[in-house]
Structure 1
Amino acid sequence: MDFAYSEEQLMLRDSVDRFGEDRWAGADRLARLAEGPEGSRRRWAAMAELGWLMLPIAEAEGGLGGGPVDVMAVMEGFGRHLMTEPYVSNCVLAAGLMHGGGELASDLLARIGAGEVRVAAGLTENDGYAIEQVSVAAIDGPGGVHLSGMKTHVEDGADADWYVVSARTAGAMAERDGISLFLVPRDAAGLTVRRFRAVDGHRHCTLMLDRVPATPLGERDRAADRIDAAVDRAIVAHLAEAVGSMESATAATLDYVRTRQQFGVPIGTFQVIQHKLVDMSVACEEARALAIVATRGMTQPGAGRALIAAAKARISQCGIAVAQQAVQLHGGVGTSEELVVSHHLRRQMMLDLAHGDRDFQRARFILLSAG
């Protein structure tokens, strides 16, 4: 495949790798996770100084106007070093939802780029991954709009300062028309944030909304297309992260089998082990090619969405298979907290679920291809 990063993108990718080696070394991972929000805020500020946070944000809104390939260069490094900072949820997904959304949105975008605030997107409810499955109600009143309902899973939302929340302003459940977006501050009256940490170390939350005052974002009743576009951007960024994680797990496994001995020889000399490593390497190459196709598909609105769904389904399958094989080849120790390959497996499992698992994406691909 004819694809190569530009010189600037290579420098960006290298800077992410250096940051990961310094701040997210595998041997120090448990200590970094134990630091919690305090350590994350320090690293977030450092990322802001490097200009990463403003990269995907439009220039008119205080960003650098970087494209999907620029984000891909960043997210490969995030995957290789298993960084838990909320880059995709804040700088890609939330930024995409807020683009061109009014004065408050523009102000928040500039502050995201400067590392001053974090904004997470509350889109998912109990009825699955489809963005039109919205039951949170937006109720108009003398004091403005108030939201009531629940968002069951807000990716990286535990430490957010603001939330972009989808709500129904018209129509019935599962209808695309009638969905609107709103901005809600963390300290809004009637908002309850239930925080939890996932198996991969990321900090998510559930939002309980009881007549929460909210600021409208973008066009009323017509947010479905905006949400689709922003979610696709987030999926493509996560695909690059998955590829980086797969390649790192494969490299760690290759190093291990070269040194681990059995019957007086390295286990990497056994043919069965070599076959498994070849399978892992082939899966990595396939995933990288699909991620490139999906990234390029961002510039093809018609065919692009189907390509993204197909790539997400297959890369999720490859990513979990590679990580499982890495754990197996390490033996029993591969499942331990102290060994980084177990963390790659956990992250691959969560990346599979993010914005729709394999089964959902296969069904989405069929629907989009037929349309």
Structure 2
Amino acid sequence: MNFQHTEDRRMLADSLNRFIGEQYGFETRDRIARSAQGYSGDLWNRFAELGVIGALFDEADGGFGGGGFDIAVVFESLGRGLVVEPFLDTLIVGRAIARSGTEAQKAALGALIDGSQIVALAHGEPDGHYELARVTTRARRSGDTWCLNGAKAVVQHGEHASLFLVSARTSGDDDEEAGVTLFLVPSDAAGVSVRGYRKIDGGRAAEVTFDHVALGEDALLGAPDAGFATLEYAVGCGVLALCAEAVGAMDVARDYTLEYLRTRKQFGVPIGSFQALQHRMADLLLEIEQARSAVINAAAALGAERQQRERAMSAAKYSIGRIGTRVAEECIQLHGGIGMTWELPLAHYAKRLVMIDHQLGDEDHHLERFVALGRE
């Protein structure tokens, strides 16, 4: 199999890396991440104008990419800049709509691709863990109307989303795959309340509560009780995106650390000349390349049948969780005490790598899931 990027993907990566390097420096990123909004609307629109969002979707859905390697290229570049704009949820929600939406629902994808609409995935729950089938939010049908009740936790950019993709249980036990239904819920619907807060690694998230929210049949995404397959696929796209983002962040952390080892002197010589530190850095470089290989494997498997696809995603997320944490720890230690200072960009990359492990399932969860999928 040829893993070389196409000319279009190389051009996209070059233009995106150049834009981030020129317009999204660390000081700019830090200011945006600390802001009350948690992202920059102006830069979000400029990313859309560059075609970055469109690269995440198929041509049939109004984009010009949509493959696993398109997702990986975009998010690796975003990881290099620690970009906090709402790319991840736009990808997850958009791919869910593209997979299971009605023609009217799919027509709204254009607003996602041009950056004019912010959307968010509302799936995780306050008392839940990482199991996708674990859904306690309830939706009950009464004639042509659904009544939605429940709470969702850590909804990325939830304060500014105009539309939520909500998972709710319409039948079965709380942990069953069957009985999960997906709804597209406007954020201004009666009964929807949002409480926002700042995230530890930059940007904002929210707790979202649904209190007797009345929804029509047009809010259904796919068939009732059959939303799990769509949710699993869309979240799988998000897992691939996070893994690629982590590789981009690892590359920058590596470069910062190599530069520090070359310039920081002790006993009159660069500390990079010490053999013990050289060995630690060599081991780290090998680990980063292993992480890159895992992302390549996952990107290649995005279009495969379900078991192969999901095993590749879990394998990559497990590798990224383990390696990302090690990269964060080693780079901080090789920098010494200065590595923990807020003013040093490296500390923010390390923090982001640790937090990526906890998004959409940590390494322990995905190792267990990989094994379980192999038994099916």
SS in 2 for 1:117: coil
1:133 corresponds to: 134
Q: Is 1:212 matched up with 2:213?
A: yes
Please report the RMSD computed on the Cα atoms of aligned residues, expressed in angstroms: 1.7
Alignment identity in percent?
A: 36
Say whether residues 1:263 and 2:263 are aligned partners. Answer: no
Deviation at 1:36, TM superposition (A): 4.3
Partner of residue 323 from structure 1, selected from 325, 328, 338: 328
Residue pair 2:33, 2:203 contacting (<8 A) in 1 also = no
Deviation at 1:304, TM superposition (A): 2.1
Are the aligned partners of 1:159 and 1:203 in contact in 2 as well (CA < 8 Å)?
no
1:191 lines up with 2:192 in the alignment: yes
Task: Pick which of 188-197 and 60-69 moved more.
Answer: 60-69
| Superposition TM-score, scaled by structure 2 size | 0.94
Alignment of 1:221 with 2:193, yes or no, is no
**Equivalents in 2 of 1:200, 1:89: separation in Å?**
16
Q: Residue deviations 1:135-158, cap 9 Å, x none?
A: 111122357112101112223433
Match in the other structure for 2:280: 276
The AA in structure 1 aligned to 2:302 is M
- Structure 2 counterpart of 1:217, which letter? L
Q: Distance in 2 between matches of 1:12 and 1:353?
A: 29
Per-residue deviation, residues 160-210 of structure 1 (Å, max 9, x unmatched): 111000011111211111111101111111111111221110311111110
Task: Mark the CA change 1:39 to 1:203 in structure 2 (over 3 Å): closer, same or farther.
Answer: closer
How far apart, CA to CA, are the structure 1 residues paired with 2:137 and 2:10?
43
Amino acid paired to 1:313: Y
Q: Distance in 1 between matches of 2:60 and 2:332?
A: 46
Residue 68 of structure 1, CA deviation: 1.1
Picking from 252, 257, 266, the partner of 1:248 is 252
Call closer, same or farther: CA 1:187–1:104 in 2, change over 3 Å: farther
Deviation at 1:268, TM superposition (A): 0.9
- What is the aligned residue count? 370
How is 1:1-371 mapped onto 2 (pairs within 5 angstroms)? 3-37=3-37, 40-90=40-90, 92-99=91-98, 100-125=100-125, 126-141=127-142, 144-214=145-215, 215-301=219-305, 302-371=307-376
Task: Please give the alpha-carbon distance, in whole angstroms, between the structure 2 residues aligned to 1:228 and 1:314.
Answer: 20
Higher mean Cα deviation, 153-162 or 312-321? 153-162
* Aligned-pair CA distance for 1:65: 4.1
The Cα shift of 1:62 comes to 2.5
Asked whether the 8 Å contact 1:108–1:117 carries over to 2, the reply is no
Shift of 1:106: 1.6
1:205-230: per-residue Cα shift (whole Å, max 9, x none)?
11111011231111111011111111
Determine the C-alpha separation between the residues in 2 that align with 1:202 and 1:162: 19
SS in 1 for 2:121: strand
Higher mean displacement: 258-267 or 136-145 = 136-145
Please say which of residues 336-345 and 138-147 is displaced more in the overlay. 138-147
Separation (CA, whole Å) in 1 of partners of 2:353 and 2:282: 20
- Give the distance between the partners of 2:214 and 2:331, measured in 1 at CA: 48
Which residue identity is paired with 1:97? A
